[in-house]
Amino acid sequence: MICKECYSKNSRITPLLNPEQCLENHTQYICSTCGRCICIEKDNKRNVYRWNFPFKTLEIAKLYLRIAEVVCKDVCGIYEIVGKNNRISYKIFHTEEDLKNYLSRNKDKFCKNEKPVYISKKYIESPNVQIRKLNKEEIKIYLREQKQS
């Protein structure tokens, strides 16, 4: 079943890369519905959030959509971007205007319809959500559950 808050089928799927390092060092959005941790830390080198990066698949982009919505406090969309050699990636944008600004700065990329391939119906603020770093015991339990899922 898909979580109504964070759009995931698996409550322990994230972090995808270096989960232990991410959970130990980064601030996490903890879904108040399923308990999934999603990195909400800004990348210091690029001064952007993880959700600003391109994703290889729509499914992976959906795992970070909730973070974009929380940061923007609004609905965000996932767009299919075609780059060099027709390489497809998926990026999250708050508005179509943000997409157009991105495309104007990246002339080698385009978006077929300039419409999101996925967008949530509406933004719902979760009153019980936690945004914080996990303690060592929480990390240990989360990683154990992640291995079991």
Q: State pLDDT tens for residues 9-62.
A: 999 999 998 999 999 999 999 999 999 999 998 877 777 788 889 999 999 999
In terms of Cα–Cα distance, which of 123, 119, 56 is closest to 87? 56
Amino acid 43: pLDDT: 77
Amino acid 8: pLDDT: 95
Burial string for 129-148 (b: 16+ CB within 10 Å, else e) reads eeeeebeeebbeebbeebee
Q: Does the model's pTM come out above 0.85?
A: yes
Amino acid 144: pLDDT: 96
The answer, yes or no, to whether the previous bond of 15 is cis (omega within 30 of 0) is yes
Amino acid 78: pLDDT: 97
Q: State pLDDT tens for residues 101-141.
A: 999 999 999 998 899 999 988 998 988 999 999 999 999 99
